[in-house]
A and B are shown apart, each in its own frame.
Chain A
Amino acid sequence: MPTKRFLTPLALSAMLLLLPGAPADAQQPQRGGTLSSIISPEPPTLMIGISQTTPTAIVAGKIYESLLRYSTDLKPMPGLAKSWEISADGRTYTFRLHENVKWHDGQPFTAEDVVFTATKYLIEVHPRSRPIMQRAESVTAPDRNTVVFQLKEPFAPFIMAWEPSTAPIVPKHIYDGTNYRNNPANQTPIGTGPFKLQEWVRGSHIHLVRNDEYWQPGKPYLDAIYYRVLPDAGARVVAMETGQTHLSAFADIETFEVPRLKALPHLELTTKGYEYLAQMVWLDFNLRNPPMNDRRFRQAVYYAMDRDFIRDRIWFGLGKIATGPIHSSIPHYDANVPKYPLDLKKSEQLLDEMGLKRGADGVRVRVTLDALPYGDIYKRLAEYTKQALARVGIEVTIRTSDVAGWGDRVRNWDYEMTHQVLSQLGHPALGVSRLYITSNIRKGVLFSNVNGYTNPRIDELFGKAAVAVEPAEIQAMYSEIQRILVEDVPVAWLLELEFPTFINKQFRNVITSGIGVRDNFADVHMVRQ
């Protein structure tokens, strides 16, 4: 007898009420209003299946939907699926879909669209979704509104893989049998979401309008959303100050502008809505080269980095010091790991032990650091790293390049040290294991195990933990993984990033989930003053 994890509509509405961010006032949301949001940089495309960049996810998250959404504590919430069950053996996932859902072109949305998306579309185009969907032995649609995934073996994180940028559901009637990447429909996205694409003026704005046939009656409340392309950081601040735009997210507003904007009466600041992505920044060592291949060197570097400084002086307090490979907002995080507080003496001691003595110029060893080309904040992080390591006799030469140049170097293992920032995607098996398991050492692939860490015990634990069913057993394995990795320091985890989201107070219910601004905005409404 399978245990059922059913979410009744009543339980659901109770859960929604408990969600942080829900307004306390009982005012009934009104129809109407236009939200103007910043988007930067401009998305390369709105076809979310093909591009997983954040700007695409933000805009296309209003057009395309997935089966689920996730709360800020990463519990699944209904999306296109109104309820779901997981069998006791962890191998069968049954999703029951909402009825009367229509695509933007008027065609009905059915379970066949989900089967097509999971078995054909995502497996071909979506690098992150492919390994997850390949775990399904069969995907069937017993009726128009039910989809059953039969997995080859249990995979608990499977339930975490259903947000719009990880598994966007695409229309079978448009894509089946075509070249997915070149299909002209990619220019005129057809989704099930609360908003439709009206117009995209490249370099200026993207105009989305209300989907009057949306499956949630009465929603969305807004008439339209404008995404304004504002590449200049200074212009973005002014746009938020003057009320020209109503919403900024991710790195739109530079950290040092946050205190000033926070004080403005018409803006509200929240750091919620990034729990699913759970981004972490770390210092990456190429373990193929000396001295980085010596654990003592990596520990020495870790002891020399003042992470309070990084959080307070570079990120202006927006962030949390990382303790290990798993972000504290995603499941199976364990804080009980070895600690590396700032300790220059210990750092120097480890370097002495290695035989790296200070030369006449005070330098023990020279290494190159490729600065992350994602903007000024990472440039400052590189400058800080150089100074911090100079204190223990490690001379760092900073190398700068553009995004493509940096990517080429890192994915072809042609670097010594670099910073990296990556999302953990709701579960260690989706976003963390990829960085440390031997089978994911793939030359030429960015965001794989680029530094070449290999440890049979880690491989075994990640492999077993992903397919285990018993929660206590899973936790024990992830805890062991964290202890081993933190002892080994394959990379030096620095900071769990928090991003400032500024919302004009005229708008309510903007951030209602752990997907944040990438969510569909069906509940966002405007308050008339």
Chain B
Amino acid sequence: MTGMEGLRDFWQRYRRNKGAIVGLAVLVLVLATALLGPTLFPGNPWDMAGAPFQKPFDPEFPLGTDTLGRDILMGIVHGARVSLLIGFVATFAAVSLGVILGSVAGYYGGLVDDLLMRFTEFFQTIPSFVFAIVLVAIFTPSIASIVAAIAIVSWPPVARLVRGEFLTLRTREFVQASVVLGRSSRHIIFVEILPNAVSPIIVAGSLMVATAILIESSLSFLGLGDPNMMSWGFMIGSARTVLRTAWWMSFFPGLAILLTVLALNLVGEGLNDALNPRLTREGR
């Protein structure tokens, strides 16, 4: 099976899930907004462009203005970049950490496994959102501390997932063959086993991006966002007190979060279908 064929096959299975197609379309739109938005809507989202509390569906400010007269549409467009950036970077960091710890634990087993899994459980026992709040509050809110906090609270499930995969894969013949051939442990972990464990990791990762965006939004909502970054969570947080008088200030950023997180979940499900065809199709 060539790479091209594999990809076509993958796409065949992916598009069988209608929701996943919709999700992908929305996600592409959001990604395009994040990449091109600042070029299409140049300017500073923090500028107090108009009068505060302007209602939406106005030709000048289609989504209205916030409590200081900032354009909500500009905020959403520019905030897409921050929200997605945080989502992807935090997920990348969490997945990397989880993969390393999980694979080492699963491959070596025994005492190493015990130690690493107790360490993982230590993190798992702390309610993740509360833990994130504590971390950000201690290290003063900034984009770096938020990404770090999200990564620190998100890696344990990845580690456990990877460990599980490794536990089953390391008993397979191809792994035993590598051992007999005298390959180094590093080679076996990263070249032999990991590629075979990658599908569940991708699925978990895509869902984790959605969670990371939600955590960032929740932190910003509580006033623990980076005060120098326009993000969707910040917009909702700063509009929270005026919810009754100015619904549009929190509605539109909320809608943006909802659509993005939903899209990421649908895509994650589609990936799951496409990458584990036997698991998902059998029951239907």
CB of A398 within 8 A of CB of B227, answer yes
CB of B241 within 8 A of CB of A233, answer yes
CB of A400 within 8 A of CB of B241, answer no
Q: Is A361 an interface residue (CB 8 A)?
A: no
Stretch at the interface among A80-88, A142-150, A252-260, A441-449: A252-260
Q: How far is the CA of A390 from the CA of B44 in the complex (A)?
A: 11
CB of B67 within 8 A of CB of A380, answer yes
CB of A397 within 8 A of CB of B223, answer no
CB of B68 within 8 A of CB of A380, answer yes
**Known contacts A256-B67, A386-B46, A387-B46, A376 near B238 by CB under 8 Å:** yes
Q: Is the interface of A mostly helix, strand, loop or mixed?
A: helix
The listed residue (B69, B227, B245) touching A400 by CB distance below 8 A is B227
CB of A379 within 8 A of CB of B223, answer yes
CB of B137 within 8 A of CB of A383, answer no
Q: Hey, which chain B residues are within 8 Å of A461, CB to CB?
A: none
Q: Is B121 an interface residue (CB 8 A)?
A: no
Q: How far is the CA of A256 from the CA of B242 in the complex (A)?
A: 8
Q: Hey, which chain B residues are within 8 Å of A237, CB to CB?
A: 244
Instruction: Please count the residue pairs between chain A and chain B whose beta carbons lie under 8 angstroms apart in the complex.
Output: 56
CB distance from B144 to the nearest CB of A (A): 13
Within 8 A of A (CB), among B43-83: 44, 46-48, 51-53, 67-69
**Known contacts A234-B241, A386-B46, A400 near B140 by CB under 8 Å:** yes
CB of B245 within 8 A of CB of A256, answer yes
Q: How far is the CA of A498 from the CA of B47 in the complex (A)?
A: 26
The listed residue (A234, A383, A384, A402) touching B227 by CB distance below 8 A is A383
CB distance from A321 to the nearest CB of B (A): 18
Q: Is A401 an interface residue (CB 8 A)?
A: yes
CB-nearest residue of chain A to B243: A234
Q: How far is the CA of A399 from the CA of B141 in the complex (A)?
A: 8
Q: Is A6 an interface residue (CB 8 A)?
A: no
Within 8 A of A (CB), among B226-256: 227-228, 238, 241-245
Q: Hey, which chain B residues are within 8 Å of A384, CB to CB?
A: 48, 68
Q: Hey, which chain A residues are within 8 Å of B68, CB to CB?
A: 313-314, 380, 383-384
Q: Hey, which chain A residues are within 8 Å of B67, CB to CB?
A: 256, 380
**Known contacts A313-B48, A380-B68, A371 near B137 by CB under 8 Å:** no
Q: How far is the CA of A309 from the CA of B52 in the complex (A)?
A: 11
Q: Hey, which chain B residues are within 8 Å of A314, CB to CB?
A: 68
Q: Is A382 an interface residue (CB 8 A)?
A: yes
CB distance from B126 to the nearest CB of A (A): 21
The listed residue (A234, A260, A400, A405) touching B223 by CB distance below 8 A is A400
6 contacts between A and B (CB under 8 A): A234-B243, A234-B244, A256-B53, A376-B238, A380-B67, A400-B227
Please list the residues of chain B having a beta carbon within 8 angstroms of any beta carbon in chain A: 44, 46-48, 51-53, 67-69, 137, 140-141, 223-224, 227-228, 238, 241-245
The 10 A-B residue pairs with the shortest CB-CB distance, nearest first, are: A398-B227, A400-B227, A233-B241, A387-B46, A313-B52, A380-B68, A400-B141, A398-B228, A254-B241, A397-B228
